[in-house]
Every structure is written in structure tokens, then in C-alpha cells.
Amino acid sequence: MAAYSRLILPASEVFLPKKTSDVTSMTFACLGLPTHYQDASIEDLLNVMLSDKKVRAGVLRFVLLDGIENPVTLPITPDEVRACADSMGMKR
């Protein structure tokens, strides 16, 4: 879980091995699912995310994979989401 200790990572880093990430993206695309976020600002996205049932006391709880078949829950603050979005060049 140490790899998930901060969400603020350069956009080039991934949580899964690149091959796994690529296969996942290709599978989603083949199914017609989005593989990238675009259009709305990060603030618009955060407003929707903060209404999710997994939010506790204003902190988002992401379920991520620490490898195949090993989900972990990671608390992420809105400021951490903004910093990550900034590192990827998303509009505020």
C-alpha cells in the first residue's frame, strides 16, 4: 500500500504495471467506456465526487488496486485531487 500513500504523483506514474494499465484501458475502450476525463473543470468534477456515498467528513475514499485482486481503500482530500489534476494539466 505504500505506493498509494499520496495521490499527488506525476501524471506519468501509474498505480498498476503499465501492461495491466494498457490492457485495462483497451478493454474499457472496446466496451465503449471512457478512458480519459475531459470537458468539465476539476471543481465541477469534485462537486459531483463529493456527493458520492463513499465520502466521509468531506474526504473522498477511493477503492484502488494494489495489484490484481487486492483492493485497498485510500482517503483523498479535495486538495489532493486538485493537486493531482494540476499535475495532469486539467482546468480548474
Say what percent of the chain tops pLDDT 70: 83
DSSP E strands in the chain: the ranges are 60-65, 71-76
Q: What is the pTM of this model?
A: 0.60
- Spatial separation of the C-alpha atoms in residues 62 and 81, rounded to whole Å: 11
The position carrying cell 465520502 is 55
Q: 44-77: per-residue pLDDT in tens?
A: 989 999 998 889 999 999 887 777 788 888 888 8
